[in-house]
Structure 1
Amino acid sequence: MKVVLSGGGTAGHINPALALADVLRDRGHEVVFAGTPTGVEARLVAQAGITFVPFEAAGFDRQAPWTLVTSTLKILGSARKAKRWMKEISPDVVVGFGGYVCIPVGLAAESLGVPVVVHEQNSVMGMANKFLAKRAASVALTYEVAGKDVADASKLVVTGNPVRASIASATRAEGRLMLGVPEDATMLVVFGGSLGARHINQAVCNLKSRLLAVDDLYIVHITGPKEYDSVVECLALSEEESRRWTVMAYQDRMPETLAAADCAISRAGATSLAEISALGLPALLVPFPYATEDHQTTNAKAYVASGAAFMLPDDALDSEEFSEKLFALIEDESVRAAMRKAAGGFETQDAAAKLAEVVCRCARA
């Protein structure tokens, strides 16, 4: 079977696609990826050793109505190119993970009678997925609520959000050796997704003295590339303090980093939550307040309701409530143990296999 995967814009669209690719290739299927030439997908897909085919796509700016015309023309042009390409390779199924590039790829598939499967990572369906869901053979969801706008409910299936096998297989010992963190220390990882999170960084920096006063607490602080210099300047760590507080702009080896950690502060993006739940990592979630329809808050609610995480709104990061929740997470092993147990109920480790079954069922005979 030949499968075309498509997605773009953020790592949150690409990582679950790569997790599915791993499963499909292990089962002997051929996988190719269609994405934008300059998006993060071009780099991540190449690193995974998957054939990458570029197509131009762009959204439109509501503040600049004329961009609707230019983006539509770009998408239609790419749809024609994608159709010619698909005639050459004859795929059995196309799987879209979100991002504007999925629209021309999905339209090309539809015009050729190739089944389309959509996977939505978040609790609110993105525009591209919403568009393709009307035409899809199946719509796979991480959260059931994301399917509320799909008229044909028979298409819907909840699979969870796939994570790559490297997440599930990473070990605490391996991560701690890589990071230089003693086995018996407590480790906090701070990260805001691939772009970082300024307000989280600032709030954590403001607690520097209190955090370093905790015996044997090690902090791995992933700032995001744009925030690195300001965080380093704000913390002004001495050589001794740097032994326990590691600041980095970006971390390519997140599986080992998360496996090494005892607890985390994170945004509530789909990929971050999937990786946290796959590892059973206790977390304080701070949803990004400007996400579409506040979907990160909706994403996080299921974790909080089950007892797998704390949650705090972004505008409360400067309050005492933030430090209370953070230090409860750091200092109380019983709190972390309860969260680890609750996280096991999400079965994230099986999501890639579940999605692969949906794709195989929908593939053109």
Structure 2
Amino acid sequence: MLAVLSGGGTAGHINPALALAEELESRGWDVRFAGTPAGVESRLVPAAGIPFAAFEASGFDRAHPASLAKGVAKIAASTSKAKKWFGEIKPDVVVGFGGYVCIPVARAAEKTGVPVVLHEQNSVAGMANKYLAKKASAVCLTYEGSAASLPTAAPVTVTGNPVRRSVIEADRVAGRALFNLAEDDFMLLVFGGSLGARHINEALVALKDELLARPNLHIVHITGPKELDAVTGALALAPDEARRWHLMGYQDRMGETLAAADAIVSRAGATSLAEISALAIPALLVPYPYATADHQTTNALAWVESGAAFMMPDDALGGEEFKEKLFALVDDASVRAKMIEAARAQKTGEAARALADVVVGAARAR
């Protein structure tokens, strides 16, 4: 059996696809990936050992009508190219994870009688999934509430957001060894996504003295590449302080780093939330306020309502409430225990298996 997975634009579309690929391959399936030639998927997918095919696709700017014609032309050309490719590889199912490239790939599947399964990572569905949902064979969601934004008559299954095995199976002992942590040290992980988050960085810097007053507290602070110099300068860590405040612009061993953490301050992107949930790490979430349709806030609310996290608006960082929630997370073991229990109840670690079951079912029903 052969599955074609498709997605593009952000790692948030690609990581769950790679997690599904791992699950399908463990069941004896072959997997191919269709993405854009210059998107992040063109790097991540081949690095994972999955055959990659490139298709041009782009969105459009309502303020510039010419961009619509250009986008439509790219989609039409890529649909024809994908149809020809399908004739060669004969897929049993196509799975779309979002991004404009999914449109020509899924349209080619529809034209050749190949079932299409969609997965929506966020609480608010993206444009490509909204467009494709009308003809999909099955739709899978991370959040039950996002069904309202998808016009579909297909069966809808809440699977959760798949997480790669490199995260789920990451070793805590190895992760803590990265930062020379003793077993009784407490690790607070702070990160703002791949680019960092200036307001989160500034809020943590302002609490430097109070954080370091806790003798067993270590802060692993991933600032984002562009923020590292500014944060380093603002903290002005003495050598003994730098032993417990681990600064870095980027971390490519996030699985082990997450496994080592006792608590987290982070944005509320789909991948970050899925990984935090899969490892049941107590968290204080700070949604990125300019995400499309403010979907990170909606994402975070689901975890807050379940009891798995605290949340603070970005514009309230540095205030007294942020400080209270941060130190409740760090100082109160009972708060963390309740969050861990709530996160485990979400069963995010089983999401790849649940999505694969739907994909296999769609292929067999063809």
User: Is the TM value for this pair above 0.5?
Assistant: yes
Deviation at 1:268, TM superposition (A): 0.8
Kindly provide the amino acid, as one letter, of the partner of residue 230 in structure 2.
S
State the partner residue of 1:321: 321
Superposition deviation, residue 61 in structure 1: 2.3
- 1:46 maps to which residue? 46
Shift of 1:152: 3.7
Q: 1:11·1:194 contact (CA, 8 Å) conserved in 2?
A: no
Contact 2:139–2:154 (Cα < 8 Å) also in 1 = no
The amino acid that maps onto 2:11 is A
Does the 8 Å contact 2:134/2:153 carry over to 1?
no
Aligned to 2:91: 91
Distance in 2 separating the partners of 1:225 and 1:37: 24
Could you tell me which residue of structure 1 aligns to residue 148 of structure 2?
Answer: 148
What secondary structure does 2:351 align onto? helix
Aligned counterparts, 1:229-248, within 5 A: 229-248=229-248
Work out whether residues 46 and 52 of structure 2, in 8 Å CA contact, stay in contact via their aligned partners in 1.
yes
The percent identity for this pair of structures is 65
Structure 1 residue 145, shift from structure 2 partner: 1.0
Residue matched to 2:66? 66
Question: Would you say the 8 A contact 2:307–2:342 is kept in 1?
Answer: yes
Q: Which ranges in structure 1 are unaligned for 5 or more consecutive residues?
A: none
Q: Which residue does the alignment assign to 2:133?
A: 133
Query: 2:282 matched to which residue of 1?
Result: 282
Secondary structure of 2:140's match? strand
Matches of 2:64 and 2:151 in 1, distance apart?
Answer: 31
Distance 2:315 2:134 in 1: 37
* Structure 1 residue 211 displacement after superposition: 1.4
2:129–2:150 Cα contact (<8 Å) kept: no
State how far apart, in whole Å, the 2-side matches of 1:214 and 1:42 are.
44
* Contact 1:191/1:223, CA 8 A, preserved across alignment: yes
- Distance apart, 1:318 and its partner CA: 2.2
- How is 1:1-365 mapped onto 2 (pairs within 5 angstroms)? 1-363=1-363, 365=366
Give the distance between the partners of 2:228 and 2:32, measured in 1 at CA. Answer: 35
**3-state DSSP of counterpart to 2:324:** helix
Q: C-alpha offsets along residues 28-71 of structure 1, whole Å, 9 cap, x if unaligned?
A: 00001111111111111122111111111111223333222222
Q: Is the 8 A contact 2:308 2:339 kept in 1?
A: yes
Q: May I ask how many residue pairs the two structures share in their alignment?
A: 365
Contact 2:172 2:256 in 1 (8 A): yes
- The CA deviation string for residues 101-128 of structure 1, in whole angstroms up to 9 with x for no partner, is 1111111111111111000001000001
Structure 2 stretches lacking a partner, 5+ long: none
Q: Render the CA deviation track for 1:142-199: whole Å, top value 9, x for unaligned.
A: 1111111334454211111111122221132121012222211110001112222121
In the superposition, relative to structure 1, how do residues 160 and 57 fare at CA in structure 2: closer, same or farther (>3 Å)? same
**Between 174-183 and 230-239, the greater mean CA deviation after superposition:** 230-239
Return the offset for 1:261.
0.5
Aligned partner of 1:189: which letter?
A: L
Partner amino acid, structure 2, of 1:323: K
Give a deviation string over 1:299-354, Cα, whole Å, max 9, x none.
11121112111011111002111111111111111111111111111010111001
* Whole-Å separation in 1 of the counterparts to 2:195 and 2:130: 25
Contact persistence 2:135–2:152 (CA under 8 A): no
Secondary structure in structure 1 of the residue aligned to 2:78: helix
Secondary structure, aligned partner of 1:148: helix
Please give the alpha-carbon distance, in whole angstroms, between the structure 1 residues aligned to 2:235 and 2:164. Answer: 34
**TM-align CA RMSD:** 1.3
- Cα 1:75–1:153 change in 2 (3 A) is closer
Instruction: Give the counterpart letter for 2:181 in structure 1.
Output: V
- CA distance in 2: counterparts of 1:47 and 1:238, whole angstroms: 39
Distance in 1 separating the partners of 2:34 and 2:233: 40
TM-score after normalising by structure 1: 0.97
AA partner of residue 340 (structure 1): I
**Structure 2: how far apart are the matches of 1:303 and 1:165?**
22
- Secondary structure in structure 2 of the residue aligned to 1:268: coil
